[in-house]
Amino acid sequence: MSPGRRREAALSVLLGLAVVAVWELVVRAFAVPVYVVPAPTAVIVALGRGLASGVYIVHLAYTLVEALLGFVIGSLLGLMLGAAIARSPLLERVIYPYVVGFQALPKIAIAPLLIMWLGFGIWSKVAMVAMIAFFPMLVNVITGLRAADRDSLDLMRSLSASEWQVFRMLRLPYALPYIFAALDIAIVFSLLAAIVAEFVGSQSGMGNLILQMNFSMDVAGVFAVLIILSVVGVALHLVVAKLQRRVVFWSEKNDMTGMK
């Protein structure tokens, strides 16, 4: 790290500490009730208690299974439909208006229906997450598979490459940076979608835990769960980003989400 970067990092940490300190002081000075806004120290105590009790493990595992299953299913569906649409302008004109209409729909509004159809268990959340993860992949795959430039296509054609070869050796690698950008967006949204779907109706999971704590006015506990979720979200993003740097090492388009 260069001295300049190190100073920026130090500043960033200082800012965080300052905010926490001011928060603590304000809560103490004005004697804010713990069920309105807990002091950072109270949050840390709640976090420690939660970690020690093991309560997060079961709920987090439940939420992660929902988020990851939905993420994989939604991304795969987006990949397949995107590849089909990228190949066929006819399909694009016929299907795309519905896809756009579906995307314009606030999908969380479907959550009550999903619970009615698929029950309070894992599958209603998986469906929700899949719907959210689907669209970024769809759009990016279409763009990515059409991103190969004229000259590269002419090159492949001048070698009498088959359409499958053009796809495999040219279009797909060209689409990879776009695919990873979609994965990066989708993984963060997947966690969000799982939590929100749990709010609507669930038996377990981090969203369910937040609701339980809210009902018992354990606001410090809610904050502790938020910290866990934030850490998990960043970790998931980092996994995708790491994978992306390994797979599409040649691409400059390395971080399109703006999260570093």
Please, is 220 exposed, middle or buried when counting C-beta atoms within 10 Å of its C-beta (0-12, 13-18, 19+)? buried
147 near other proteins, judged by CB under 8 A: no
- The CA distance from 107 to 71, in Å, is 15
DSSP, res 108: G
Of 141, 137, 152, 159, give the one whose Cα is nearest residue 87. 141
- The CA distance from 179 to 117, in Å, is 31
**Options 173, 204, 211, 253; binder of other proteins; rule CB under 8 A:** 173
Q: How far is CA 74 from CA 1, 98, 196, 213, in A?
A: 38, 17, 17, 30
- The CA distance from 34 to 48, in Å, is 17
220 near other proteins, judged by CB under 8 A: no
253 near other proteins, judged by CB under 8 A: no
Contact 141, 87 (CB under 8 A): no
Closest contact distance (angstroms) between CB of 100 and other proteins is 24
254 near other proteins, judged by CB under 8 A: no
**Options 251, 255, 256, 259; binder of other proteins; rule CB under 8 A:** 251
**Options 165, 214, 216, 230; binder of other proteins; rule CB under 8 A:** 165
40 near other proteins, judged by CB under 8 A: no
**Options 98, 160, 246, 260; binder of other proteins; rule CB under 8 A:** 160
49 near other proteins, judged by CB under 8 A: no
For other proteins, the closer of residues 8 and 149 by Cβ is 149
Please, is 128 exposed, middle or buried when counting C-beta atoms within 10 Å of its C-beta (0-12, 13-18, 19+)? buried
**Options 26, 51, 61, 159; binder of other proteins; rule CB under 8 A:** 159
Closest contact distance (angstroms) between CB of 5 and other proteins is 24
**Options 25, 154, 238, 239; binder of other proteins; rule CB under 8 A:** 154
**Options 20, 84, 161, 226; binder of other proteins; rule CB under 8 A:** 161
98 near other proteins, judged by CB under 8 A: no
- The CA distance from 197 to 120, in Å, is 10
| Residue 186 in tokens | 């989708």
Contact 86, 142 (CB under 8 A): yes
| Residue 160 amino acid letter | S
User: Which residue stretch of 76-84, 148-156, 214-222, 236-244 sits at the interface with other proteins (rule: CB under 8 A)?
Assistant: 148-156
- The CA distance from 116 to 124, in Å, is 9
145 near other proteins, judged by CB under 8 A: no
Closest contact distance (angstroms) between CB of 249 and other proteins is 8
- Per-residue mark of binding to other proteins, 231-250 (x: CB under 8 A): -----------------xxx
Which positions lie near other proteins, rule CB under 8 A? Answer: 149, 151-152, 154-161, 165, 169-170, 173, 248-251
